[in-house]
Amino acid sequence: MDVRERVAFAPERLADALQRLRDETQTQEVAILSTCNRTEIYCAQDHPDAERLLNWMAGYHGLSTDELRRCSYLHSDAGAVNHMMRVAAGLDSMVLGEPQILGQMKDAWQAARSAGTLGPYLDRLFQSTFNTAKQVRTDTAIGENPVSVAFAAVSLSRQIFSDLRRSTALLIGAGETIGLVARHLFEQGVGRIIVANRTLERAQLLSEALGADAILLNQIPDVLAQCDIIISSTASPLPILGKGAVERALKQRRHKPMFMVDIAVPRDIEPEVGGLADVYLYTVDDLHEVIEDNLRSRQDAAQAAERLVDQGAGEFMQRLRALAAVDVLRRYRHKAEQLRDQELLKAQARLERGADPALVLAEMARALTNKLLHDPSVQLKQMSAEGRAEALALAQELFALDDHESIQDES
């Protein structure tokens, strides 16, 4: 944690960092992913030099290289592709299958693109990574079941109230967990949110961003009958919501169901409340049981996700290897076309002088064949003389020669 905090890249400084990283390490293409859980450099280099990258990061953040080296890791070639796809799919996250990392990966790609440090290799890798991560989300259940207390609470509420747009939620407390619950409810489109807290200022701070109402704890009885969902997480040593207050609220609601989640330890809601008809009360232990079940489900899905990542990484490396041959093929084609044009000019000149067309064509075909085969023949004989037996097998495969095919010498 101490090191991660110090190697994080602030968004407003990312463009400058990317350009400096590229120029000062002489790296062709670079991108940086910086989150609360990881800082990773993705790069394309002709000659891999991890030490230079490590020294640069240490210097940029004012750390010693040894300190950084102790908690760093390196993946290259196929390993790097596989790792990047696992990260984007949520397979390398602290919470297995969490979806936020894919958006952060897309931000890293966009930042490198805007800074001008994204080239063809990394761009192709990012696109393949996004496609693989999307396939993992579509074809597996790795992200379907909630594995956080906050999200599990909201998911359970949807089992009671299928249409949250008609529901009112009362959130008791204004800490981090309640903040997450509030955001999840807001994203699910809940009709109204009321935040109750010991200090009104904290409640208002959380409410402002969500368009919620803020009240004090002693005002809860005034609004309780209006609330369908009650989720509580405070540090109070004594219960905040008692059986009597809930009974009075139920009478006003004409026994319309109330869903309650008590995340606090010690409890904020008296246990006797769970015995009331029309009340569905869950504790933090109940949520952990849901989370454990969902984690097992995600772990099963992770096996399928790993296979998709391996497949995606393999396909990308196959395309990358194919691209490596493109330049060689292009240059060889150019050379062959030059030889063709030379022989064509000679043949046209002979035809203009009245030579027999059949003989001209035969001579052009023979000369072009000899010239096309000259350099490969010389190189192949040289490699064979040097004992490079694999060259003969490679040539046979390259020229698609049949193992059983034999050519009789012309006499």
Q: Give catalytic residues, as residue numbers.
A: 36
Q: How far apart are CA 121 and CA 127, in angstroms?
A: 10
Contacts of residue 376, defined as CB under 8 A and 6 or more positions apart, other chains included, come to: 395
Do residues 50 and 74 touch, judged by C-beta distance below 8 A?
Answer: yes
User: Which structure tokens are listed for 112?
Assistant: 């490198």
Do residues 150 and 284 touch, judged by C-beta distance below 8 A?
Answer: no
What's the longest Cα–Cα distance across the chain? 117
**Following DSSP, what letter does each residue of 202-233 receive, concatenated?**
HHHHHHHTTT-EEEEGGGHHHHGGG-SEEEE-
Q: How far apart are CA 210 and CA 283, in angstroms?
A: 25
> b/e string for 32-51 if b means 16 or more Cβ within 10 A?
bbbbebbbbbbbbbeeeebe
Beta pairing partners, 102? none
One-letter identity of residue 52:
R
Q: CA nearest 308: which of 143, 146, 138? A: 138
Q: Residue 131 class from Cβ within 10 Å (0-12 exposed, 13-18 middle, 19+ buried)?
A: middle
**3-state secondary structure labels for all residues of 47-112:** CCCHHHHHHHHHHHHCCCHHHHHCCCCCCCCHHHHHHHHHHHCCCCCCCCCCCHHHHHHHHHHHHH
Q: CA nearest 67: which of 154, 113, 6? A: 6
User: Which structure tokens are listed for 310?
Assistant: 């391996």
